Structure 1
């Protein structure tokens, strides 16, 4: 059943999960982005308002990831008769490494699909979200949009064709997330990555990914922790993040199961076996950054297993 207007929240996400570069990610309870979409008589997609972005996002409907994804979605359905106005309300920092563009894109797609009575499943929406990521950052990866759209923890088994697997999220697993107010552009972080790696390092990485997945299935928190090590990407990207190794040391002292970079950074995250431990880790890491004169945002979250959701106004 179609609606006249919809208000949607979509969550921030942590991609890579330390050892799973471009293939693993999970959704957070907060922060996230909100989209309001309503039907209008004039056909087409009209982006009428953006808040919370400090004027950084494009206002043209074909260049903003939210409206462009909605436009592609409508073209796919052959619904040239539909006219919508979109408002995007950014509730999370841009360039944080927390899937900001993914949250916005997923919120827009979930909203338009809900508005039109859900003609497509979430799995069918995923390729449109990946296209939105390509527009936003030049690389159509799914490790942010998949958990944002599907909820929980996701594994991107392959891209040709796109194959997404939902992994179990142990109920006692909590995330501590800290966003230091430093600039690490996604494109720059990706360009630093080595194009060739030693076979022994690749084998180590494969073992850690397999161990992490096995730990999630068995709720083996010790296995989860000892698998969260990255020998391929983190050593290079950590250079861009001030106090990275000190933050990891502090997090581990407070009981972190594992610690690493969220996406391309600068946000960092730790897994903990309780909400209280995650809160202690967040406070300790923020305290360390504050001592170095670096402002930050801190979040404590369970694994968001629902993904986007409609908000009742």
Structure 2
């Protein structure tokens, strides 16, 4: 967590512009790298396994690191809010316990590791190219394919962030009582299909994605749902989906494609749906940020999509027009989650 300036510092740095506010970005970058290293070392996990604080010397001994180095790292993590210190040693803060421990239901550690190990290294190679040429020299997914282990790190990250939204999304999605077949296009980790099938006993699901994306999904499907959920490898731009589905999910998919490609994808989905079947699109939407954090998040997402995919964030009005062109009607938008920016668009095949 970047250092939180006090009132006087906010006035001097941000309101009056009397000090170098960009140094806060420097602190934030160092904080991210330090937290990523702490995750790699399992520093937080070690502190979670003990009931009392641990000194730098004890931590260094157990982590096979230098005491001075561990002390420096922990002291920085204290001022950044990840650790607390006392005469007895270091302990976790409530924030770290909730968001960065492996046994927490809200563990975001794999998401940070995904950015540290994959996305930001990719930025290092492609950001300038994306800015000057309008797109990267290759997509990040093509880069993943060069070393398949990258897909495992990516899927762990996607799963971690989806786990924070899955209940809100499942609450918002409209599932007709007579719906029996669902296809999750670009569904990778499968969390949304798993949760919807868990909630609706008459529903079966197909998770459709690239081979590298779904290789580990079978291990994530609970045993009690194994007969109702089927991973299927394929390229959703060209390969056959099958037909007769009552529901089609396109979650965090359309931002990766241009308007012509998205319209064609919607048409292919319509062909795969049964009469009156429903399409449900989840993504971030241009113009939906209402607070400083959500606006910054939306702009960050847009820059990330450009750098990694040569893509962008669309306005929901654009998506509505593509759906209408592909033969969908009764289009409805629903906000999802505690922060603005993420929403569902549902529509019915005509």
User: If the length of structure 2 is used for normalisation, what is the TM-score?
Assistant: 0.24
| Larger of the two Rg values belongs to structure | 2
RCO higher in 1 or 2 (8 Å CA, sep ≥ 6)? Answer: 1
More strand by percentage = 1
User: If the length of structure 1 is used for normalisation, what is the TM-score?
Assistant: 0.26
